[in-house]
Amino acid sequence: MSRLAVIRRLVGVSPQAGLSTSQEALISNSLEAFSKSHAFYHSPTSWFANKEFVERFGDFLMLHHAVSDQALSKDKFEHAFAAACKWAKHIVGETPSKTNPGHDVTINNARISLKTQADESCESGSVLISKWMELGKGPWQYNALLQRFSTHIGNYEHILILRKLARYRVHGKMPKGTRKYKKVPPDWLHYQLLEIPKQLLEYAVKYPIFYTTTDSDQDKGLLPGGCYVYGNPYLMAEEDPTKASSDVILELSFDGGSERKLRLRNLDVRFCIQHAEWKIHI
């Protein structure tokens, strides 16, 4: 529909039914949201995020935040991502069922798993995915659990994570060795879209250092634990990557509570590929 047709439709020359006061307010809020300052970025080397993609997705974010203070949830992210990819002329496949243990969407025949991170403690330097997958009712052995993770990541080629970053400012003088922040009402929304390289996860499956936590839940028979991954996954095959660095590059934790799930923690964003970023004044 042309711009003129939309304007005509909205302001009074349409055969359609009218808008109520609250609906009209909502449209008005949306228009106001679109008029706010914003900055959208995309990586020139991204395999899918081009100008059209970031614009379409960014507009969706502005529209969403015209009616909600909450971060974009996973289901909305999935929808907005597919819509923006279509807008950018990518081939978007059928969405699999919600209970599909693998990918969430296919773009140009590549299977993609979509994740979100938007908790209040979301810091810019570290990725946390609170529920990568459910661990089900099978045996609670760490090697077997890691194998399930390995099988799971075999179901998709790319893992993308949408992060809503919180804004903080330093409050007063900080005592040595502590960090004291006071949250202020953010005047800018900040989202970024990262890809976790699959190579990194395959490396994690290969070089785990298992641990158990002390707060074991004996009556459930499940020992919470996980594995740390050290080293440098990008070294050449003939070198021992685990000796390259003593830094933890990521952690996979097995949560034995009633949910029985696998989390990914402490992944340094420097190991990820940034595809796009949106900053929106609210």
Q: Which residues bind other proteins (CB under 8 A)?
A: 1, 3, 6-7, 9-24, 26-28, 30-32, 34-35, 52, 55-56, 59-60, 63-64, 67-70, 73, 75-76, 79-80, 83, 86-87, 219-220, 257-258
Q: Which is nearer to other proteins, 65 or 127 (CB)?
A: 65
Which residues make Cβ contacts (< 8 Å) with residue 28, sequence separation at least 6? none
The three-state DSSP-derived secondary structure of 207-253 is CEEEEECCCCEHHHCECCEEEEEECCCCCCCCCCHHHCCCCEEEEEE
In DSSP terms, 181 is beta-bridged to 170
Of the pair 22, 246, the CB lying nearest other proteins is at 22
Q: Are strands 110-117 and 158-164 parallel, antiparallel or unpaired?
A: parallel
Minimum CB separation of residue 258 from other proteins in Å reads 5
- Structure tokens belonging to residue 236: 């050449």
**Would you say 70 or 141 has its CB closer to other proteins?**
70
By beta-carbon proximity to other proteins, the closer residue of 73 and 130 is 73
Question: How is the beta sheet containing 126-134 ordered, strand by strand?
Answer: 126-134, 261-268, 248-255, 225-230, 208-212
Min separation Cβ 148 and other proteins, Å: 19
The rounded Cα 52 to chain-centroid distance in angstroms is 20
Nearer to other proteins, 34 or 234 (CB): 34
Q: How far is the CB of 220 from other proteins (least distance, A)?
A: 5
C-alpha to C-alpha distances, 108 to 62, 134, 276, nearest whole angstrom: 27, 28, 18
- Distance in Å, CB of 222 to other proteins, minimum: 8
* C-alpha span between 261 and 101 (Å, rounded): 13
Rounded distance between C-alpha atoms, residue 226 and residue 259, angstroms? 15
Cβ nearer to other proteins, comparing 31 with 144 = 31
- Please give the Cα distance from 62 to 139 (Å, whole number): 45
Q: How far is the CB of 201 from other proteins (least distance, A)?
A: 27
State in angstroms the smallest separation of the CB of 24 from other proteins: 6
